[in-house]
Amino acid sequence: MSQIGFIGLGIMGKPMARNLLKAGHSLVVYDIVPGPLAELVEAGAARAGSCREAAALAEIVITMLPDGPDVELAMAGADGVLAGARSGSIVVDMSSINPTVSQKIAAACAEKGVEFLDAPVSGGEPKAIDATLAIMVGGKPQIFAKAEPVLRAMGSSVTLTGPAGAGNVTKLANQIMVACNIAAMGEALVLATRAGLDPEVVFNAVKGGLAGSTVLNAKAPMVIGRNFKPGFRIRLHQKDLRNALLAAESMKVSLPFTAAVQQMLMALMNEGKGDLDHSGIVTFIERMAGIEVKKPS
Ligand code: NAD
């Protein structure tokens, strides 16, 4: 069993930290918001007063924060993870961030004799609660082997995909496929609805064929039922596609479909829809056609 520092107890981090406690690990937790900290302390974790304190006694320090700038902030400065982390300990950043930032953090860790893995997740809050997340990891194989038992307490699929940054490249690839799938589904269902068809009948007709997908099965019923309760929020998917475009630019790769969907997500955020489920991408396409995807009345 490991001594683990856990920083960032939000929608994802809180259930992930609980699962580590359930698996018998010792936890020292920290968040800038007191509410979730108190809940974890009640569940048996020790409370740290800063990122530095959470890192100071830990063999493994996990961060689960919104985006790259938040992770850089948590690492740096007199109260940061790197001021406290012991030589030979492992920092595992599980946030979804730009892979070039992961590589920068890996280099800063190496300067302090600290190992680094980037290990973003897929699956959302329900899978974080059930400890069945898909975890995509970047880093050295021997460090992955040390951290893998801890990661397995939070996920059912744990895969090393390459060196530092590779976990986030894999996560961005995942997010591109999901976003473009939702947008394509939106165009298809808007067309079918304008043609006078029942979108539910169309969905049932195609779901067993080549166009069928996990995304279609999860999101088409939400759109047809006009239920945009998150799930995965539009603002987080906008952040992921922005990171995909930034990473792509640094590698001189053009991602035309990703760019188009990222612009749709940005427009939806400006309309006040940032906290809707990402299936709400469809509402952007609906507005251009002046029609809603729903059962004919
Ligand atoms: P969240 O906003 O609910 O939680 C982030 C937590 O980090 C908050 O409690 C916040 O107070 C804390 N925090 C921010 N800055 C901090 C700092 N400097 N020090 C300590 N604590 C700090 O976000 P979330 O939904 O838990 O997502 C976390 C990451 O996981 C994101 O990168 C997200 O894209 C990714 N992710 C989310 C989902 C999902 O469905 N929510 C699914 C897969 C991946």
Separation CA 196–CA 194 (nearest Å): 5
Pocket test for ligand 1, best of 33, 65, 101, 243 (most atoms within 8 A of CB): 65
pLDDT band at 44 (very low <50, low <70, confident <90, very high): very high
- Given pLDDT bands bounded at 50, 70 and 90, which one contains residue 297? confident
Pocket of ligand 1 (CB under 6 A): 7-13, 30-33, 36, 51, 64-66, 70, 73-74, 95-96, 121-122, 124-125, 232, 236
Averaged pLDDT of the chain? 97
pTM of the model: 0.93
Provide mean pLDDT across the span 226-254: 95
Residue 2's pLDDT band (boundaries 50, 70, 90)?
A: confident
Residues 51-62 have a mean pLDDT of: 96
Ligand 1 centroid to Cα of residue 255, in Å, is 26
Decide if pLDDT at 88 tops 90: yes
The residue assigned the tokens 């020790």 is 46
When pLDDT is cut at 50, 70 and 90, the band that residue 1 belongs to is: confident
Determine the Cα–Cα distance for residues 133 and 157; give it in Å rounded to an integer.
7
Of 236, 241, 265, the one to substitute when testing ligand 1's pocket (max ligand atoms within 8 A of C-beta) is 236
What secondary structure does DSSP assign to 211-261, as a single string? T--HHHHHHHHHHHTT----SSBHHHHHHHHHHHHHHHHHTT---HHHHHH
Whether residue 72 is predicted with pLDDT greater than 90 in this model: the reply is yes
- Provide mean pLDDT across the span 240-268: 97
Segment 193-212 shows an average pLDDT of 98
pLDDT digits (tens, 9 = 90+) for 220-237: 999 999 999 998 899 999
Say whether pLDDT at 57 is over 90: no
DSSP 62: E
Mean pLDDT calculated for residue range 254-275: 98
In the structure, what pLDDT confidence band is assigned to residue 279 with cuts at 50, 70 and 90? Answer: very high
- 184-196 confidence digits (pLDDT tens): 999 999 999 999 9
